[in-house]
Structures are given as structure tokens and as C-alpha cells.
Amino acid sequence: MSKYDAIIIGGGHNGLVCASYLSKKGCKILILEKNENLGGLVNCASSLNGFSSKILDDLKIDLPKLNYNSYVVALHSDQQHTILQENNNKINFIKSNASGENQKKFSSLINKYKIYASTLSNFMYEVPPRLKSGNSKDTWQLINMGWKIRKLGKKNMREFLRVIGLNIADELEDNLSDNNLMGLLAHEAILGSNLGPRSPGSILSLLYRQAIQNGLFASEKYDFHQLIPSLEKICHNQGVEIKNNASVKKIITTNNQASGVILDNEEKIDAGIIISNADPKTTYFDLLGTEPLDTDFIRRAKNIRTKGNIAKLTITLKENPIIQNIDKEKMNAKFIYAPDINYIERAFNASKYNKYNENLCFEFHHCVNVIVANIYYVPHVKNNTHNKERLIQHSINLLKPFISNLEIEKAELLTPNEIEEKYNVTGGHWHHGDFEIDQMLMMRPFYGSAQYTTPIKNLYLCSAGTHPGGGITGINGRNAAKKIMRDKK
């Protein structure tokens, strides 16, 4: 008899959440984390504001509240930066060169999307229903989903159905005329995706961000640095065993049923349920191997789009950074450089060909003298042929115009290839797979693997590659746990 009821491969946030829910119901869980530290891509994240407050409640996680007002600064090359503050879902323009009309339209657009986003958020906590499964439960769930959309009212439903396939650039150009505000909203829409502002589906991406976050600009309300330690503590209290530096080599199956894992050091551990917090491609092609998978299933797994395009830059300065026209109080803002739609689109253009040009977009936070920035679009390239030195230099050059005292002590950059290597995430993709209409809901990651299950009995998925998607919500882990409990009955 195995010591454990379930093994979770990967100690990222979804794995920890899944373990927390399962162990609450009395399951004996073992988490195996390849790296020294838990958290996975949380260690790369720019913001954890997407983490589900419902889950914080369920698990009784009490994160300390942060006391400062959170600002957002859209950097302009003429140093006349736009400063916003988001409070209780209202946008206040602290400083902006945009006309009153533009500011009004900006806010009203965001509010319009918020309504649609909250409809979408209804679907996030459920295992996605299958289309035409013959199962009445699925049919009812679909009817329910349709009904929720219908409840938006005629006007909103029409608009929702119109914008869901639309690109953010067109919508912005129809409504606004201020380049910088347009760039700012476009930035929020496409960060983390493989889309440009003119790509159809970019509004959907924005809706998703709004659905999971409290407020559009991801201004932190809680001290999320405590998130992983808090989850770890809960797991510990509920009897979950966590092993770091334990890399899983293979998932063992017997008679099409998951029965255990083998570690890199050849140690074999049995369990009746295996849950993979690795992304779907890694799970199927590395951990499980293709031997127990049908050929057409393998084709679909191969076709998931998982190209990452964000590089993480960490620079340590000799002293705290100074930005012209930003006073000290506002320095704890999120800084964004996405000056206008065409600029972003041009940066995006190069990434389509697995190249990048010098004119990239970025956002950063700073803490004391350390700046942590997400630079995009830096594509994942085969064989990792990035010229890192050049990329670091380009990235620093991007920051130069804004930070007047940019004297660098240390600069580190993780390309998408390196993120892939370090965190074992295919493509270094933030969300384990693009979030687009054909890779969402009951098609995420793809047919046959979209309800946290796999063709192998008792092998489950709980990573961001599943419904509802990425964004460090923890919902994937929770939903997977619910599915597992449901299946057990």
C-alpha cells in the first residue's frame, strides 16, 4: 500500500493550491519540486494580483495588506509621463496630457470590458463542459453559460459577441485619440500573449486579465511575496510532504493507469493518483512519454502553441533609481513603456519571425535599488541563439532615457529559452500555452485533455495550461482538485 494518495509533480502555485485543497479532504499528498525553491514561474511574475481571492478565503490565507497607494506610470519619451491610480476599480488620472474626452473614454472602455470580464469569470471556477458529449451535465452547463451571457442584456450581449473576436487596436482607435493611453491599454491586453495590438483575439486576452484581477493594472493590494510561503505553511499543517531538489524522470503507468513516478536518482515512489503541475507538453512528451498515448492525441499535443516571448531583466543599480517628473511617493508604481499602438505592433512584428528589434516594450517595478523588468517581445528561439550580451544592452538602452542615474552594478537576463530551462516550462511561456479562442475552455489545452484529465486513468493536469488559463490565479489547481475529488466518488 502506497504511503501517498497522490503525488503532485511540480511545486508551482497551482500544485500547492491543489495540494492544499486535496489535503484538506484528508488526502495524503507528496509534492516533488525539481528546483531548490518552490513557486515555479511565480518567481518570474510581474504581479500576483491575479491570484483568486476566493481561494485565499477557502484556504484561509491571510496575506498582509500593503499600505501604499498603487500607481501606474506610462512612460513618455518627452518625460511628460502619464500617472494613473486605480482605486476600487476607478481610474484616477493624477497627471496626463490626454484630453478630458480621452480620459473619459479610456475609463468607460475599461468599465465596459469589466462587465464582460465578470461574465467570463463566472466560467472560471468550473470544470469546462464538453460539447456534444451526450452527458446531460455538460449540456446543462452549456445552457447555463449561454444564459449567463444572455443576462448581459441585449445591448451588452451584442457588443460582447462583437468584441470577443476583435483586436484591441481597432477598438482603441475607434474610441480614443491619445496615443499614449491607447498604448497603455494595448499593453495590458497583450502582455503574456503571442498577439499584437492588431491581432484578433487581443481583446479577449484583455477580458481574461480583467476577469482574474482586481482592477486592470494589477496594482498589488496584498503582499504577495508571502503567497508561496503561506501556501507552503498550509500544506505543511495539513500533512503534505514536500521534497525539493527532487526531479521526476518518468511517470509510471500500469495497464493504462498511473501508478507512480521515478525520480532522476532512480528512486521509485508509488501513488494511486499522479497530478502533473508541469505544462501539458512537458507532461506528455517528457514525463509520461508517448508510449501510452494514441497517435492522434499526440498530434494534438504537439500542436499546442507554446512560444514564450517575455524576457526577465533584473538590474542592481548603484543607488535607488530616479525618474524625471516622478516624485518619491510615486516611485513604487508599475512603470510601463508602450508608447503607442504602432510601436508595439512593430515590436511584435519581429517576434513573429523569432527575431527582435531594438525597440521593445517593457514594464518594471523597483524595490530599493533593484529593478525587475519584463521585456517583450523577446521570442523563444530554437537552440537558444540569443546574443545575450546584445539583448541585455538593448534592454538597458530602453531604460536609459527614463532613469537619469542608471549606473549598473549587476545585470541579469532570463530569455524565454532560459525560463524554459530553469522552470521546465515548454517555450518559456508564461501561461503554458497561448490563451486564444481555440485554446480556451473545453479546448484548453486540447480535446481529450481539457477537463484536467488525461487518457491515463488517475493522471491529472493542474497547470496553467488547463482551464481557465494563466495569470497566476491558482484556479487551475483548485479546479483540478475538485475534479479529482469528484472522480474519486
Partner 1 sequence: MNNKIYDVAIVGGGHNGLTTACYLAKAGLKVIVVERHDYVGGAAVSRELYPGWTYTNCSYVCSLLRPEIFRDLELSKFGLQIIPYEGSATMLDDGRFYAHYNDHDLTYRSIAQFSKRDAEAYDRFGRDVMRQCKIIKPLLKMTPPDPTSFAPKDIMGLFEFAKYFVAKDELGGLGEKEIYDTIRFWTMSVRDYLEEYFESDVIKAHLAGSAIIGTALGPYSPGSAYVLLHHYMGEVDGTIGAWGYSRGGMGSITQAMSKSFQSKGGEVKVGSPVAKILIKNNRSYGLILENGDEIYANKIVSNLDVKRTFLKVVEQNQLPEDFYLAVKNFKIRGSSGKLNIALDDLPTWKSIPVGDPAGTGDLHITQSIEEMEGAYDDWKDGNWSSYPYVDMCVPSINDPTIAPQGKHYMSVFIQYVPYNLADGGWTEEKRKKFGNHVMNRIGNYSNNFNDIIKHAEIRTPKELEAEVGLTEGNIFQGELTMDQLMFNRPIPGYAQYKTPIKNLYMCGSSTHPGGGVMGAPGANAAREILRDMNKQIESHYI
Partner 2 sequence: MSQTNISYKQPLLETPFHEKTREKCYAHDWYRWAGYKAVNQYTSTELEYTSMRNTAGVVDISPMHKYSVKGKDAKKFINKLITRDITNIQPHQVVYALWCNEDGFVVDDGTIFCFDENNFRICSGERNLNWFEDTAIGFDVTIEDISHSIAALAFQGPLSCKILHMLNANNIENLKPFCFDQFTINNQEITISRTGFSGDLGYELWCEPLQAHDVWDALFSFNKNYKILAAGLDALEMVRVEAGFIVVNADLMAAEHALRPNRMRTPYELGLAWMVNLDKEFFTGKEALIKQKNKGVEKKLIGLDVQGDKPALGSVLYNESKNEAIGIVTAAMWSPSLKSNIAMGYVDKQFMKLGSKVLAEIYHLEELEYRKIWAQCKVVKKQFITLERRNAVPALI
Residues within the interface to partner 2 (CB under 8 A): 255-256, 285, 289-292, 294-299, 302, 448, 455
Nearer to partner 2, 4 or 297 (CB): 297
Query: What does DSSP assign to residue 200?
Result: T
Nearer to partner 1, 45 or 127 (CB): 127
Distances (CA, A) of 193 to 33, 101, 200, 220, 264: 26, 30, 12, 21, 33
- By a kind-dependent CB cut-off of 5 to 8 A, residue 256 interacts, out of partner 1, partner 2, none, with partner 2
- Taking the complex as a whole, how short is the minimal distance between the CB of residue 134 and partner 2, in angstroms? 13
- By a kind-dependent CB cut-off of 5 to 8 A, residue 199 interacts, out of partner 2, partner 1, none, with partner 1
CA 392 and chain centroid, separation: 24
- Taking the complex as a whole, how short is the minimal distance between the CB of residue 201 and partner 1, in angstroms? 5
- CA dihedral 467→208→418→358, nearest 10 degrees, is 150
Q: Look at phi and psi of residue 124 and say left if phi exceeds 0, alpha if psi is from -120 to 50, else beta.
A: alpha
- Taking the complex as a whole, how short is the minimal distance between the CB of residue 438 and partner 1, in angstroms? 4
Q: What does the alpha-carbon distance between residue 409 and residue 78 come to, in Å, rounded to a whole number?
A: 27
* Helix, strand, coil tally for the chain in percent (to 5): 40, 20, 40
Nearer to partner 1, 367 or 437 (CB): 437
How would you classify the pairing of strands 459-461 and 268-276? Answer: parallel
- Taking the complex as a whole, how short is the minimal distance between the CB of residue 231 and partner 1, in angstroms? 34
Q: Is 257 helix (H, G, I), strand (E, B) or coil?
A: strand
Nearer to partner 2, 79 or 256 (CB): 256
- By a kind-dependent CB cut-off of 5 to 8 A, residue 455 interacts, out of partner 2, partner 1, none, with partner 2
- By a kind-dependent CB cut-off of 5 to 8 A, residue 436 interacts, out of partner 1, partner 2, none, with partner 1
- By a kind-dependent CB cut-off of 5 to 8 A, residue 250 interacts, out of partner 2, partner 1, none, with none
- Taking the complex as a whole, how short is the minimal distance between the CB of residue 283 and partner 2, in angstroms? 13
Burial class for 1, CB neighbours closer than 10 Å (0-12, 13-18, 19+): exposed
Q: Is 160 helix (H, G, I), strand (E, B) or coil?
A: helix
Nearer to partner 2, 239 or 289 (CB): 289
Burial class for 77, CB neighbours closer than 10 Å (0-12, 13-18, 19+): exposed
Contact 348, 356 (CB under 8 A): no
Query: What does DSSP assign to residue 282?
Result: I
Q: What does the alpha-carbon distance between residue 216 and residue 178 come to, in Å, rounded to a whole number?
A: 19
Nearer to partner 2, 265 or 295 (CB): 295
- Taking the complex as a whole, how short is the minimal distance between the CB of residue 165 and partner 1, in angstroms? 3
Note the maximum CA span of the chain: 70
- Taking the complex as a whole, how short is the minimal distance between the CB of residue 222 and partner 1, in angstroms? 35
Nearer to partner 1, 255 or 385 (CB): 385
- By a kind-dependent CB cut-off of 5 to 8 A, residue 298 interacts, out of partner 2, partner 1, none, with partner 2
Q: What does the alpha-carbon distance between residue 158 and residue 333 come to, in Å, rounded to a whole number?
A: 36
- Taking the complex as a whole, how short is the minimal distance between the CB of residue 295 and partner 2, in angstroms? 4
> Which residues of this protein are in contact with partner 1, per CB under 8 A?
130-133, 150, 154, 157-159, 161-166, 170, 174, 195, 198-201, 299, 303, 305, 342, 345-346, 349, 352-353, 436-438, 442-443, 446-447
Nearer to partner 2, 125 or 285 (CB): 285
Which DSSP helix (H) or strand (E) runs through 195?
none
